[in-house]
Structure 1
């Protein structure tokens, strides 16, 4: 959602800023706050519409109607909502946002996350804030919430509420609180119980959110990207789905990654889905134990540094602009047009979108159908979505014109908020009811209703009761039913305490694949397995026809001990049909990796069987990763295991795959010692097989002297494959092999291919040698626009090189207009006195004021209005200037936002983004600045981290930097897209570029 997802590195800073800044900030920060100029989509002069007018602006599909069921002043700033067993709607009003009460910001960390002077204690001693939880009730069944009651007030950054287990669960970071209310009079029985502590509050638009009961009886929640967490010793850097078991007190990260995660929903089969702040997707399908794509720079690596891969968002076809932050899988039975579809609230674009789900191997892809809500009311901000007991869809609307966090003033419209119901035309409102008053048998009957809400609420109430008397009847249902009711019965049996090994023995062979799936899931959650059940699971591993059952079996293997898990993994690896699955190969890798250190011998025994090596999953997905795993964690035992794998490899092809993995594992910090077993094995390979680039790289890393000569030969050989050449240039640069420098410089002079020259520049920048700078200046005139910019960026990375660049201007050998603004700003940041003198003499003030940037926008408008551009010429300019980072119409790179779905025809949007690219930086494209111990400063996109290294993407080229050589790493508030990018273009070129950018833009 727009206000709960980052749009810039400064979001973190500004999201905690509000009125009363003099009370909220340490005095040292006041000046910054007072001088900061607001950016982005700030409040405008538009006025809020009345609730009735807002509804009138909705454009809805035929057969669908919308109603306002609650609005201000009863409800203001609604953030999260959930129904209870009486059909009442519990709403969190996030009125304290954006400042936590009672604390002061004292500083920011390197990513500009707020650090406070203290932590608010839990209630009742907490610092009282303005948040509250309100219960809305329709007392007469006319479809309008005519009664409201405040259940709790004075809360401080409350994010979510859900009812269950005899009270209300409130997520109020850093705490998960339980307010008992056994008599259900909507008055807490006393002070809350603190069940969890440690959810971060560094950024109040992110963090822990969206409580939801799972079908397994765990309480699930999402966690946004910008806040950290340290809960019960489990530390993670945001972007996760977590869960907590109220009875066992167990807390865990269920799955990690997926963007600025917001919302939790379960479909009829118990699959978990959540929204995201990424574009061109409808969210994430979360597998248990899965690792998903993250914003690697700002939000750090995955929790397990040996994950060696991750899952992506669901692939999507349809409306591309960001973002679907709150989604449900609608299965309410009352709106046939959207049954089984994703319903996505997209607050950034004032839209609600529906999308069909299609199987995509073991996961899903989505395709858009018609929008459910479109409106020109830019105040419409749907932030939460829920299906109701009446089968309708409910939306919480924050209702505000402001989107941007890039303003320290609290100018949010605190007095507004609406809740809407979307339903089939003419649908009747639900009459008042109370499921808690039903007998257990009556509750069980609701497990067979078509509306998923009633089934889920009945499940929750049965788990609340935890009544063993319910189990026999439920077992009978499970035995005789094969459809959805059988699965519901299994869940209810588990919630009632009746799931055991005897039952599992039967349900592992049940006709319903999701009964089998959930039997495995529940067995895995226990982290134990009866010896009697292992043969049944082995048979499933060999013969199970349903791919999702197989993926859950792989996921559970990560949780079971090696003696149980590894034989199952072996059988699953033999399933050739899963080699191309989007999830299964990595799930199997993660299961093996979880035993890699504790059970090396058992794992190596698997590889003593040549046939095992040759299975597609092992050959394509596991061998390379295992080679990487046993060289990345640098212990003698691991190196010996790597040597053993080389000895066991049954073919040269398998050796090659191992070597490639070992090369990855050895990246980064130089080895201090190498066990003789591994060194001897690599030396033997050197003497007995072709010197492939991967083998050369490993030999270099292990200190094998002939490796440097072989690397130089491969680099110089024009027949060397491009990917191999890139790899060898990377290792030579990483190790700064002095013997290779003359060759690299000579190749730069003689090479005609611009991409190859770019690779050579990327490698040369790591050599702290004046010959590099002199050669770049010598070749400067013959470089094209892009290479010239790359060369200048390299020269600007070291003080000595920067002086040489500026001195060429001083001597009249280069015109000052030839030096790009980005390079000049980089030189200025070096704070070198000689450079500063030359900068002041020839360029004066480098940074442009807001007025100057606005003048540039006006000038560009006038140029564009003065003539017509040619799209063909514009495409060539786009390829030259933009395509190394941006994609447009399927062409280009993904190092910056894909421009295809943006408002390219809207100059009010696109001109500020080009003239002032630092105005709003999406968090996944934040640049990072690294200062090396040799005083070089490098800036790029952080694309990978490991315990040994950090990898930046600089000018489209990957640069791996050993952590031991890094002095400082920090996020940059300046976009990696340089200012002044179009200033070198003449008027016609500018028109051509914009003609191409705007061609085919969606209206």
Structure 2
């Protein structure tokens, strides 16, 4: 019989435990709709499918963990987890605090049995790692260090600010992720939404480093901050392979990129900080996970296979997180070196095989590793531990990074994935001797290698004598038969400052391309290595047979003094085998571009000698952009082009034409006419076309007449006719409107001629376009509407026609309505609202509209849709900016891999596109001196031209024609695109957007 006192004691303990759990749980409120909740954590783990032989355990789940956004494994094998309740930074979110938890699995059964809170005062906590006596966290606007030098799992004091200036406006594209590199630097990531200006607290604002979508690094000892790469969208996943080659995973435009220091990658939108790059590096993956693909970075789909409607079979959607290159020792050998990543919309883990291709790498798709079978699965990060098993965090929510359907803050899971019978490991590398840490560099599991290397670096920073360890590491570099082990020892030596310049120069003679590549990288790692090292690198460049090492040499250029770059660049430019490489020509260009205008003679000599055509073209382009203040060097360029063969002349002229595109009334170089006579004798169509185009820029009326004759000639090919008219229009000659009016009905150039009429304000233009409208070809009608909207006087005629019923209000798109409103004419805006509707609605009205459509677009209603009709609506309404199933334009993201099966996602992004607007996608109204208004995103500005991406076109205007640029808050995707559509059209459009089969009528 139980005694009453014992029973009371048990009840008292249970109450105390319940109270402790309640106090331990943050006051996180679920804003998901009532009744919407994920399956239990244990059920979610049971649903996961992995290959035969693997097992999945629930390591931790709610209520023990919520919102797990990042994790790290300490030197004892314990799991540290960052819980983020303030992710998007809303007013509600920032009333909360983020936390760091520590989980320990003492019995090795794949489930935690000890848990403690390390810190609970975080904000925007998106990444963490451990080292140097504390915890490093990304917490916008800062990189913070939480000291715990006595390792008692309690901070020794308040956080220390190591870096500041990371944007708090970046929302879901904020700074994130931390990982120690093999070189001893701390690496992190940043998204595209906003630009940060970062430096140490001592760095003046004017000297801080700007960055947006990028990989960056910080040195824990020297407190130096650097941007490693620029470009892509939102990197969220970063790891390196057995040879120290970094790769990161990314969202939307492509999922995989090889990290090349100094690289500038393709971007989802916006322009690079440097307007003179001219070309950006394509992605590493040769496929998409939502389509069958056949060409690396092939944004125009010209080499991709036809979409077959099975995107789920190909690997899910276009959002990826948590890149991990498996280098553990538990999984089968075929997984070693594979890149694994979480696919948000695919609710799975994808696998890419990393293979050498050219001077860089390619990612080839392999079978998916994990299928969650759970719509709530949101994998964020993957990491292998000391036993070789892999931890996988699951944010667990229906939405994604910027949804408005609510957040399920009280859920979150961490799974552990092992193969067969894993052997529990209870290491404590903090207690290992120097000799043991050196021996760890030979371990099969790279977890030991990385942690041991950092421990050696920490001891070096603490002033300990590591001379014996250094000798042992040098012996591994010299004698070990496995190059991966030699590289590990090399990196460890560098981390403890035991790999001097002379020793590294000696490694340039190593038989392994990987050792030579790293010798180059480490020689320039601290920047400005000096003329002697630069000379040795130039010598290496002359005979280097490895493309990987040549890529490292090209990357190293940006770390050298400008004068020291030329000999290396000259040698690298002699490798004809690199002419068509995906990355090498651009990396050489990025290295020499800053030196072009300061030493144009050297630039011309390189252009004359190079075997890489891109370098010749880009040198000409960069020199041509300085024609107003360096006319003599442009004359020297033209002399060189006129004494070259056809191929070289074409490259020079292509560069010069690109430099002057969008300009007019430029004074011709003194030797221009003489050179044109020489090029005429070449009888080459490309040279002739480029010569004529440049002659127009230089004010040659005869060239204008010749181009107009080509544009009018129906016997000439369509592309040549359109190109000819485009060149003429960019020169903005006077008195062209009669010719354009005559061409308005031309099948090939009619639409272009109609758009060109926007440059002229003459009463007969608006009247003739309106009278032609009903007889106009289908593709000419949008051009007429666009031109009539470009000027206030024409817009008044357009609205009068709508009011009279001669033009259907549905023919006015949301973008056109926005352009009319952009004139700032109150009478026009009021008439537009009366006839078409309001261009902008309040947030409350948008929410009401979303709910209204959600109620109407039921599964039953969508099942009645006509997909073929929906496809046509898409082409008209969405296809001017977006691709789907390989059709449409690439102004905005490809929608095929987006979260299209989620109606709420579609409604929110279509009805309220400006809710979260990246700076690069905010529109501006460009008011021109001739009375036109061009609304769009400014993608590039230099001293001569402004380039504007409109909803359906790219326009370049001369700066001298720009009267004012008025920034707007709206996204390039306009409000109200559903407004002109009928209920049936809306139904058909959404059914098509949600379809998972190949589009109808495709041959």
* Structure-2 change in CA distance of 1:628 and 1:852 (3 Å): same
CA distance in 1: counterparts of 2:532 and 2:956, whole angstroms = 50
**2:146 aligned residue:** 179
CA distance in 1: counterparts of 2:886 and 2:625, whole angstroms = 36
Deviations 1:790-814 (A, max 9, x none): 3213212322111111223455644
Q: CA deviation at 1:578?
A: 1.0
**1:260 aligned residue:** 234
**2:695 aligned residue:** 699
CA distance in 1: counterparts of 2:165 and 2:639, whole angstroms = 47
Q: CA deviation at 1:59?
A: 2.4
1:270 maps to 2:244:
yes
1:658 maps to 2:631:
no
* Structure-2 change in CA distance of 1:790 and 1:476 (3 Å): same
RMSD between superposed Cα atoms in Å: 3.9
Taking CA–CA contacts closer than 8 Å with sequence separation of 6 or more, which of the two structures ends up with the larger relative contact order?
1
* Structure-2 change in CA distance of 1:46 and 1:918 (3 Å): same
Secondary structure of the structure 2 residue equivalent to 1:738: coil
CA distance in 2: counterparts of 1:914 and 1:82, whole angstroms = 34
**2:214 aligned residue:** 240
* Structure-2 change in CA distance of 1:896 and 1:652 (3 Å): same
Q: CA deviation at 1:731?
A: 4.5
Q: CA deviation at 1:476?
A: 1.4
**1:412 aligned residue:** 407
Deviations 1:234-276 (A, max 9, x none): 4324100111122222211111012112232111111112221
Residue among 439, 444, 457 paired with 2:451: 457
**1:781 aligned residue:** 774
**1:129–1:157 CA contact under 8 A, matched in 2:** no
**2:766–2:797 CA contact under 8 A, matched in 1:** yes
**1:354 aligned residue:** 351
Residue among 317, 324, 327 paired with 2:323: 327
1:316 maps to 2:287:
yes
1:94 maps to 2:92:
no
Secondary structure of the structure 1 residue equivalent to 2:265: coil
CA distance in 1: counterparts of 2:520 and 2:133, whole angstroms = 29
Listed as ranges, the matches of 1:428-447 within 5 Å are: 428-430=423-425, 432-447=426-441
**2:973 aligned residue:** 975
**2:98 aligned residue:** 131
Greater mean alpha carbon deviation, residues 583-592 or residues 268-277: 268-277
CA distance in 1: counterparts of 2:58 and 2:132, whole angstroms = 31
1:808 maps to 2:781:
no
Secondary structure of the structure 1 residue equivalent to 2:759: coil
Q: CA deviation at 1:334?
A: 1.6
Deviations 1:451-485 (A, max 9, x none): 12211112211222223332222111111124211
Residue among 168, 193, 205 paired with 1:201: 168
Deviations 1:891-949 (A, max 9, x none): 44333443544677x59479858985849999699573433234533345665554543
* Structure-2 change in CA distance of 1:624 and 1:986 (3 Å): same
Secondary structure of the structure 1 residue equivalent to 2:323: strand
**1:169–1:176 CA contact under 8 A, matched in 2:** yes
**1:645 aligned residue:** 637
**2:202 aligned residue:** none
Q: CA deviation at 1:829?
A: 5.2
CA distance in 2: counterparts of 1:976 and 1:390, whole angstroms = 52
1:222 maps to 2:193:
no
**1:594 aligned residue:** 594
Q: CA deviation at 1:55?
A: 0.7
* Structure-2 change in CA distance of 1:459 and 1:829 (3 Å): same
CA distance in 2: counterparts of 1:925 and 1:852, whole angstroms = 27
Q: CA deviation at 1:623?
A: 1.5
1:733 maps to 2:729:
yes
**2:471 aligned residue:** 472
1:342 maps to 2:339:
yes
CA distance in 2: counterparts of 1:985 and 1:190, whole angstroms = 61
**2:883–2:895 CA contact under 8 A, matched in 1:** yes
* Structure-2 change in CA distance of 1:913 and 1:319 (3 Å): farther
Residue among 306, 311, 335 paired with 2:276: 306
Listed as ranges, the matches of 1:746-757 within 5 Å are: 746-749=742-745, 751-753=746-748, 756-757=749-750
Secondary structure of the structure 2 residue equivalent to 1:383: strand
Aligned length: 919
Secondary structure of the structure 2 residue equivalent to 1:292: strand
Q: CA deviation at 1:787?
A: 2.4
CA distance in 2: counterparts of 1:403 and 1:800, whole angstroms = 45
CA distance in 2: counterparts of 1:654 and 1:485, whole angstroms = 46
CA distance in 1: counterparts of 2:910 and 2:143, whole angstroms = 45
Q: CA deviation at 1:195?
A: 2.4
| TM-score, normalised via structure 2 length | 0.83
Secondary structure of the structure 2 residue equivalent to 1:257: strand
**1:877–1:993 CA contact under 8 A, matched in 2:** no
| TM-score, normalised via structure 1 length | 0.83
**1:69–1:419 CA contact under 8 A, matched in 2:** yes
**2:4 aligned residue:** none
**1:583 aligned residue:** 583
Residue among 408, 425, 435 paired with 2:420: 425
CA distance in 1: counterparts of 2:340 and 2:967, whole angstroms = 40
Greater mean alpha carbon deviation, residues 593-602 or residues 835-844: 835-844
**Unpaired runs of 5+ in structure 1?**
1-17, 22-37, 105-127
* Structure-2 change in CA distance of 1:705 and 1:974 (3 Å): closer
Q: CA deviation at 1:990?
A: 5.7
* Structure-2 change in CA distance of 1:978 and 1:698 (3 Å): farther
**1:1000 aligned residue:** 998
Secondary structure of the structure 1 residue equivalent to 2:281: coil
* Structure-2 change in CA distance of 1:665 and 1:170 (3 Å): same
Listed as ranges, the matches of 1:554-593 within 5 Å are: 554-593=554-593
Deviations 1:79-106 (A, max 9, x none): 11111211122222223444388999xx
**2:361 aligned residue:** 364
1:386 maps to 2:397:
no
CA distance in 1: counterparts of 2:837 and 2:555, whole angstroms = 61
CA distance in 2: counterparts of 1:653 and 1:162, whole angstroms = 53
**Unpaired runs of 5+ in structure 2?**
1-25, 200-206, 289-313, 461-465, 681-686
**1:931–1:967 CA contact under 8 A, matched in 2:** yes
Residue among 158, 167, 173 paired with 2:134: 167
1:799 maps to 2:799:
no
CA distance in 1: counterparts of 2:100 and 2:993, whole angstroms = 52
CA distance in 2: counterparts of 1:51 and 1:721, whole angstroms = 63
Q: CA deviation at 1:529?
A: 4.5
**2:480 aligned residue:** 481
Greater mean alpha carbon deviation, residues 470-479 or residues 334-343: 334-343
Deviations 1:865-891 (A, max 9, x none): 56877x6x9878876776554444444
* Structure-2 change in CA distance of 1:636 and 1:722 (3 Å): farther
Q: CA deviation at 1:53?
A: 1.4
**1:207–1:228 CA contact under 8 A, matched in 2:** no
Q: CA deviation at 1:394?
A: 1.2
**1:557–1:565 CA contact under 8 A, matched in 2:** yes
